[in-house]
Amino acid sequence: MLSEGRGVARHCAVWGSPIGHSLSPVLHRAAYAALALHHWSYERREVDEASFADAFAGLDETWVGLSLTMPLKEVALRAATTVTRVAAVTGAANTLVRDADDSSGWTAHNTDVHGLTTALRLAGCTDPTSLLVIGSGATARSAIATLAPGGRVVLMVRHRVRPETLAQAEAAGLTVETVGLGEWAAGAEVDAVVSTVPPASVPDLDGFPVATHRDHRPVVLDAVYGSGETRLQRTARERGWSVAEGTDMLLHQATEQVRLMTGHDAPLGAMSDALRVALRDRRDEP
């Protein structure tokens, strides 16, 4: 993070494709207002893998932070000069921050793990030892990183697990199982189900298991947010599971981004209020 430089313009943004749905600007702008960072700005920009290199090379030194969403979490990692341990383990970066002591350098972070861990905890799933993860991309690897060594992960995929995701799980000492989409029996005893795929891609919910844990309720987290309750969330509630909101993951990964980019503790209350208003307005749109 560069010196705050009161009165000096500082620019941040979220990049990805598609990007129009992103609520990151709502969260970061609310933080800047609450922190009185009046010369900071936060925008969204449509950037895909093919255009990333030119867009990144075009940033001048007033740019101090980028949030990255799909499909840029892996290409951003390769663009960094320094990679944090969590970003390296997951092979994915959702945050790039300009280095304070070398303005030409950028550090890659993965704050999705923090967001996932916090969202699961708020729903009652603390220190999970077993997960069923739908999908095997960058967000799936962040979910896997919430498990301690010796845990169990079930990867539900359409075809095959991405090799880098399987390698991460095995390197972490996890027991790994692979099942096809809709094969829910393997999820009957997990602490949480984390879906990282579009809601319409989650099939055969008739077979979703009833919660049978005696000491705690298992949790479902659908990482896709903004379109109201998903079929997975609705089915989970009906069958006795707790539901962790994808917007909680979004909020808490963003608070960590604000801290990394600005050097200030994030104003959680202001960011949460802004997110709630934005979601309400989105639901009210015709």
Write down the catalytic residue from 10, 29, 44, 73. Answer: 73
What is the 3-state secondary structure of 164-181?
Answer: HHHHHHHHCCCEEEEEEC
Told to judge if 73 belongs to the known catalytic residues of this protein, a careful annotator would answer: yes
What does the alpha-carbon distance between residue 191 and residue 94 come to, in Å, rounded to a whole number? 25
Distance CA 157, CA 200 (A): 14
Terminal-to-terminal C-alpha distance of the chain: 40
Q: Which amino acid is at 168?
A: Q
* Nearest-angstrom CA–CA distance, 181 and 159: 9
User: How far, in whole angstroms, is CA 4 from its chain's centroid?
Assistant: 26
Three-class secondary structure assignment of 47-106: CCHHHHHHHHHCCCCCEEEEEECCCCHHHHHHHCCEECHHHHHHCCCCEEEECCCCCCCE
Check if the beta carbon of residue 249 is closer than 8 Å to that of residue 219: no
CA atoms of 199 and 23, how far apart (whole Å):
18
Q: How far apart are CA 56 and CA 151, in angstroms?
A: 38
Q: Which residues are catalytic?
A: 73
